[in-house]
Every structure is written in C-alpha cells, then in structure tokens.
Amino acid sequence: LAKTTQPISMDSYEGQEVNITCSHNNIATNDYITWYQQFPSQGPRFIIQGYKTKVTNEVASLFIPADRKSSTLSLPRVSLSDTAVYYCLVGDRMDSSYKLIFGSGTRLLVRP
Amino acid sequence: NAGVTQTPKFRVLKTGQSMTLLCAQDMNHEYMYWYRQDPGMGLRLIHYSVGEGTTAKGEVPDGYNVSRLKKQNFLLGLESAAPSQTSVYFCASSYGGAEDTEAFFGQGTRLTVV
C-alpha cells in the first residue's frame, strides 16, 4: 500500500487559491489518487479522484505529474466554509484488499 | 435515499459491557468499512468487508468483531468495552471494483466508555 505524506496544516485567507500537495513516492501502476474532506463532527466526504494529468470538477482540481509520485489538490477562491481536514488516499480500486486507509490529513484553516 | 445510516448516534458504556453498532446502506454497495477517530487524529480502519458474508481486519482490529450477514448491513461489536475504545466510530460503503470512485460515510457514533 502506497504511503502518503501531506503537510500537517495550512493557513489561507478567503478568496485565495489553496494548493495542498500529497507525496506518494511508491505509488503502483494501478493506483488511483483520491481526496476526501472532513468537517468537525462529520464523516469524510469525497472530493475528487484521478489517475494522471488533470481532473476538474465543480469543487476542486487535481493535478498529477507524469511520474505520479505526488499530486496537488487545488481549491479555487476558498471561503470560510472550506476550513476542514483534507485527506489524500492512494490505492488500486480493483484490488479487493484495498483497505481505504486514511493518513493524518492536512488541516486547512481559512481566515477572513 | 438515506445513504449510510449508523445506529446509535451516541452511547455511554461502562467498562466491561458489550454493545453492537449497526451500519446500514441502501446503495447496494459491495464494500463496507468501520473506522474509529480519536480527537484530533485521522481515521483508523478497524475492519472491512468486500461483500456479503466476508470480513477482513484493518489497522486496529483488536477488541472488535464484525459481521456482514446481509449485504446492506455491517455490524461492529465490542465484547468487553474498555476506556481506550472511547472514540467516534464511522461506517462507510462503496461500490468496489472498477466503479469504486468514492466512499460514502455515515454521520458517526460517539461512544464513551467509563
């Protein structure tokens, strides 16, 4: 199972773009990269998933370089409500032993 | 469509008591998971299931047992509760396989063992 490394915390201000990078040096060929968001007292919520290059949805963008050893979650123009913990997960979604392991995550604080 | 529902939402146990947490999903998902989350920490996987009748150990399985007798339900049991099991417990489910793009989580069960 590929190990992921993320910054423990980040600070930002409303209206700024926030980029959270996750390192996964031993990512395997069939592994996908998935990001989740968790607010206090709630279960995590899926944000975005990708395999390579760039993926964009209504919430965020995910940038994955060619070597796939890292990925960057980009949140455009954050608001106070984006204050949460963000988790990066890596795994082979075709593998029935893929355990959906969460690391410590990145605690994002958005200030007024 | 209720999604993932956990029962109960709150519970206080005395040391040594037993209890069962119920997770129910109505999305016909194959995979189900139980996690615990301690204050200020990430989620840790307790047990998971990749289909009806199957279970497997996660990162922190000791002190817990699970059963998946029906596809839509995943039960987490504590046979003899200990104060170290005080935590928030989350259940999740996903399609699994090629369609496994995201997992859906319940609202959590806050358990206190005194």
Q: Is A93 exposed, middle or buried (0-12, 13-18, 19+ CB in 10 A)?
A: buried
Query: Sorting pLDDT into bands at 50, 70 and 90, what band is A2?
Result: low
Summarised one tens digit per residue, pLDDT across range B30-55 is 999 999 999 989 999 999 999 999 99
Using CB atoms, pick whichever of A97, A99, A102 lies closest to residue B42: A102
How far away is chain B from the Cα of A17, in angstroms, using its nearest Cα? Answer: 24
What pLDDT, on the 0 to 100 scale, is given for residue B97? 74
Closest C-alpha to A12, from A80, A60, A65, A62: A80
Summarised one tens digit per residue, pLDDT across range B53-112 is 999 999 999 999 999 999 999 999 999 999 999 999 999 999 887 667 799 999 999 999
Task: Tell me the C-alpha distance between A110 and A11, whole Å.
Answer: 6
Using CB atoms, pick whichever of A41, A45, A94 lies closest to residue B97: A94
Q: Is B36 exposed, middle or buried (0-12, 13-18, 19+ CB in 10 A)?
A: buried
Contact A59/B at CB under 8 A: no
What is the rounded average pLDDT of the residues B22-33? 96
What is the rounded average pLDDT of the residues A13-28? 95
- Is the backbone of residue A15 left (phi > 0), alpha (psi -120 to 50) or beta? left
Query: Do A41 and B108 make contact, defined as CB atoms within 8 angstroms?
Result: yes
Contact B50/A at CB under 8 A: yes
Q: Which residue of B has its CA nearest to A86?
A: B42
Contact B72, B26 (CB under 8 A): yes
Contact B12/A at CB under 8 A: no
Contact A50, A91 (CB under 8 A): no
Summarised one tens digit per residue, pLDDT across range A38-79 is 999 899 999 999 999 999 999 999 999 999 999 999 999 999
Tokens of A11: 């600070």
Using CB atoms, pick whichever of A34, A44, A94 lies closest to residue B105: A44
Is B16's pLDDT higher than 70?
yes
Contact A94/B at CB under 8 A: yes
What pLDDT, on the 0 to 100 scale, is given for residue B90? 98
Contact B74/A at CB under 8 A: no
Q: Is A112 exposed, middle or buried (0-12, 13-18, 19+ CB in 10 A)?
A: exposed
